Structure 1
Amino acid sequence: MLPKSVRRTAFMAVAVLFAFTTPSHAQFAMCGERAAIIDQLKTKYQESRQAVGLISTNGAAELYVSEKGTWTMLVTLASGKSCIIAAGHSWDSSPTLAQGTGI
């Protein structure tokens, strides 16, 4: 699992991104009932929750990761609406920084 400070920074970045998403961009998010989305992440991708963080009083962000490296970021608003806002592959819980890249 990632250190708490890294998770907090990542969730804050997602919160800011989510807060400033315009309606034209928001239409690309996949939204639905939280339980149904989590069930699909578990059965289709074998992803389980690895981290969670609050987005002010507006909701929560969750990170789901599989052993194969697929990952999904799910945001659930206080209203109950859940949306997948990002997903990908090659997740590395303990990344190695490349020397000389400034990363």
Structure 2
Amino acid sequence: MRLLSAAFALLPAALSAQTLPCAPRERVLAFVIDQRGETRLATGDAARGASVELYASDSGSWTLLLNLPDGRACLLANGENFTATGGLQPARGNPA
């Protein structure tokens, strides 16, 4: 949860940043789900009508996305060695 709290705290700055890698949400999800094998673990509302999603896989990869009201998704961060705490686990089945 500390990761999510830190991400939410940074969102106002991220929303105004023009250098985030963004693409249509469908294309970004295809990469996250199909190529990285991740499933959605958590979502949250952000400023200005945006939302965030945390994805992770059983192999430990993870991705934090920022979804914008215009239909784009932006990569906020990604990495390896994801460790779930407090019952947060990658789900099997429906990835999104």
**What TM-score do the two structures reach when normalised by structure 1?**
0.70
2-structure distance, mates of 1:88, 1:7: 12
**Structure 1 vs Structure 2 CA RMSD:** 2.2
CA positional deviation for 1:20 = 5.3
Residues 9-66 of structure 1: per-residue CA shift (max 9 Å, x gap): 2442241341353x4xx1xx32111111111111111101101001133311111100
Local SS of the residue matching 1:79? coil
Residue segments in structure 2 that go unaligned for 5+ positions in a row: 87-96
Are the aligned partners of 1:70 and 1:88 in contact in 2 as well (CA < 8 Å)? Answer: yes
2-structure distance, mates of 1:11, 1:58: 16
Please name the residue that 1:13 is paired with: 9
Residue segments in structure 1 that go unaligned for 5+ positions in a row: 96-103
Please name the residue that 1:94 is paired with: 85
Please name the residue that 2:43 is paired with: 52
After superposition, the Cα gap between the structure-2 partners of 1:64 and 1:32, relative to the gap in structure 1 and judged at 3 Å, is same
After superposition, the Cα gap between the structure-2 partners of 1:89 and 1:8, relative to the gap in structure 1 and judged at 3 Å, is closer
2-structure distance, mates of 1:49, 1:58: 19
Q: Percent identity?
A: 24
Give 1:8-47 correspondences, 5 Å limit: 9-19=5-15, 21=17, 23=18, 26=19, 29-47=20-38
Local SS of the residue matching 2:48? coil
Larger Rg: 1
After superposition, the Cα gap between the structure-2 partners of 1:19 and 1:33, relative to the gap in structure 1 and judged at 3 Å, is closer
